[in-house]
Amino acid sequence: MPKQNYIKIAKKSAAIQISELKKINKVFNKSFVKAVDTIANCKGKVIFTGQGKSGKIGASASSTMSSFGIPSFFVHPSDAPHGDSGSIQRKDVLIIISYSGNTPELQSVISHANRFGIKIIGCSSNKASTLLKHSDVKILLPKVREVGPTGMVPTSSTTLTLLYFNCLAVALMDKIKFSKDKFKNFHSSGNIGKNLATVQDVMLKGNKLPLVNYKSNILKAIQIINKKKLGLGIIVKNKLAVGIVTDGDIRRKFSRGAKKDKINTLMTKKPLYINESASAHKGLSIMSNNLITSLLVSSDGDYKKNKIYFKPRGILHIHSLLKYGIK
Domain ranges across the chain? 3-178, 199-324
CATH superfamily of this structure's domain 199-324: CBS-domain (3.10.580.10)
Cα–Cα separations (whole angstroms), residue 195 to 137, 278, 320, 322: 38, 12, 15, 13
Q: 246 with 294: CB under 8 angstroms? A: no
CA distance 10 to 94: 36
| Sheet with strand 232-237: strands edge to edge | 211-213, 232-237, 240-246, 268-269
Q: What number of helices (H) and strands (E) belong to the chain?
A: 14, 12
CA distance 178 to 168: 14
Instruction: Specify the CATH number for 3-178; select among 3.30.413.10, 1.10.3720.10, 3.40.50.10490, 3.30.470.20.
Output: 3.40.50.10490
* H or E stretch covering 36: helix 30-40
Per-residue pLDDT 10s for the chain (327 aa) are 566 688 899 999 999 999 999 999 999 999 999 999 999 999 999 999 999 999 999 999 999 999 888 999 999 998 887 888 889 999 999 999 999 999 998 999 999 999 999 999 999 999 999 999 999 999 999 999 999 889 899 999 999 999 999 999 999 999 999 877 666 666 555 666 667 788 988 899 999 999 999 888 888 888 998 998 898 999 999 989 999 998 888 877 766 665 667 888 888 888 889 999 898 889 999 999 999 989 999 988 888 777 778 889 999 999 888 888 887
pTM: predicted TM-score of the whole model, two decimal places: 0.70
SS3 212: strand
Longest dimension (CA), the chain: 93
pLDDT for 184 = 64
Cα–Cα separations (whole angstroms), residue 224 to 234, 247, 254, 294: 10, 11, 16, 17
| Sheet with strand 93-97: strands edge to edge | 72-74, 46-50, 93-97, 119-124, 137-140
